[in-house]
């Protein structure tokens, strides 16, 4: 499968897609080559939070759980929730090692007086990591892969994915996991199953993400739009460079989509087509409609993005 961008009737670019539908312990459908290892990036956040949450000793509400698994846009709702987690963990913004950044949300960026760690889209995840280190008496710099927190997270990721896992350094400084797409599908199918019922940390995290889509992403984020469009029937999380993972609790299944060029708009078009193929009517088609249109800077419709199988 490719996502082809047409300007007028002329093909302008092509974006190759790999994807899996994973259920009942196996790949049920696939698109493109799926065995190549790829970085999981932020789509691993529910599984990182699954480890850090119990270590903190905190009992957060669902909105605070959602921010811990988020790639948020730095809106006021996000910074307030990160602050609540830090306060509950007796930590400060200075204990976040994610790096200073500006909000991704345009209006919030205009209102910001400077870059801050709390604006970083990974600051929710880092707030829980800082809280775990404080509660356990560990070195507050939780970034190295040899840190006891990261070793526990790596062990859980290997358990959840059922695959050998390599690590590189993520954009926010902590370990990033490298694994095949079907292994991601296995982990996200487990999230789907646990989110469908029960009180496991991962199940609670999945339900919180689905219930609070803006807290998990932000206004304009594709994972936020997918969860809102599914009306609580899906959990979605983007990863950088064209990745998105979706859990469908009612089916105990997951859908993993990777666009090899890393193009975010092509990712949305591919996901829309595959969800309609594998789970018709799960997400409103209106969620994806705008991504198929190519517009110029004055808003004129000048082309389209289309699927080529």
In order, the DSSP letters of 1-66 are -EEEEEETTEEEEEEEEEEEEEETTEEEEEES---SEEE-GGGGHHHHHHHHHHHHT----HHHHH
CATH number reported for the structural domain that contains residue 13 in this entry: 3.40.710
Q: Which pLDDT score is estimated for 194? A: 97
Range of the domain at 58: 2-308
The tally of domains found in the chain comes to 1
Chain-centroid distance, C-alpha 300: 31
| Measured distance CA(192)–CA(246) in Å, rounded | 9
Closest by Cα among 200, 256, 207 to 233: 207
Q: Which pLDDT score is estimated for 45? A: 98
Q: Which pLDDT score is estimated for 198? A: 81
State both tokens at 1. Answer: 């499968």
pLDDT averaged per 10 residues, the chain (length 309): 96 97 97 95 98 97 98 97 98 98 95 96 98 98 98 98 97 97 98 94 98 96 96 97 98 98 97 97 93 94 94
Closest by Cα among 38, 25, 40 to 154: 40
pTM of the full predicted structure?
A: 0.95
CB atoms < 10 A from the CB of 305, how many? 21
């Amino acid at each position: 499968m490719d996502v082809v961008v047409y300007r007028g009737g002329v093909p302008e670019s092509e974006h190759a897609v790999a994807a899996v539908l994973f259920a009942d312990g196996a790949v049920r459908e696939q698109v493109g080559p799926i065995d190549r290892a790829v970085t999981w990036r932020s789509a691993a956040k529910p599984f990182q939070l699954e480890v850090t949450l119990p270590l903190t000793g905190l009992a957060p509400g669902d909105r605070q759980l959602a921010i811990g698994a988020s790639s948020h846009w730095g809106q006021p709702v996000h910074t307030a929730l990160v602050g609540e987690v830090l306060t509950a963990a007796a930590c400060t913004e200075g204990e976040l090692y994610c790096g200073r950044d500006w909000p991704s949300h345009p209006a919030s960026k205009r209102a910001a007086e400077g870059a801050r760690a709390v604006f970083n889209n990974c600051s929710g995840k880092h707030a829980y990591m800082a809280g775990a280190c404080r509660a356990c008496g560990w070195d507050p710099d939780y970034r190295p892969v040899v840190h006891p927190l990261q070793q526990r997270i790596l062990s859980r990721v290997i358990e959840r994915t059922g695959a050998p896992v390599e690590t590189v350094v993520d954009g926010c400084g902590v370990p990033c996991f490298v694994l095949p797409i079907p292994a991601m599908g296995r982990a996200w199918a487990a999230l789907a199953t646990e989110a469908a019922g029960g009180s496991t940390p991962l199940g609670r995290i999945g339900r919180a993400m689905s219930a609070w889509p803006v807290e998990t992403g932000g206004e304009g984020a594709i994972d936020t739009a997918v969860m809102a469009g599914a009306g609580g029937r899906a959990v979605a999380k983007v990863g950088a460079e064209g990745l998105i993972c979706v859990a469908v609790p009612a089916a105990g299944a997951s859908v993993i989509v990777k666009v090899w060029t890393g193009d975010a708009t092509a990712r949305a078009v591919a996901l829309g087509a595959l969800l309609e193929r594998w789970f018709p009517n799960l997400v409103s088609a209106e969620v994806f409609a705008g991504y198929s249109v190519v517009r110029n800077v004055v808003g004129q419709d000048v082309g389209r993005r289309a699927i080529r199988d």
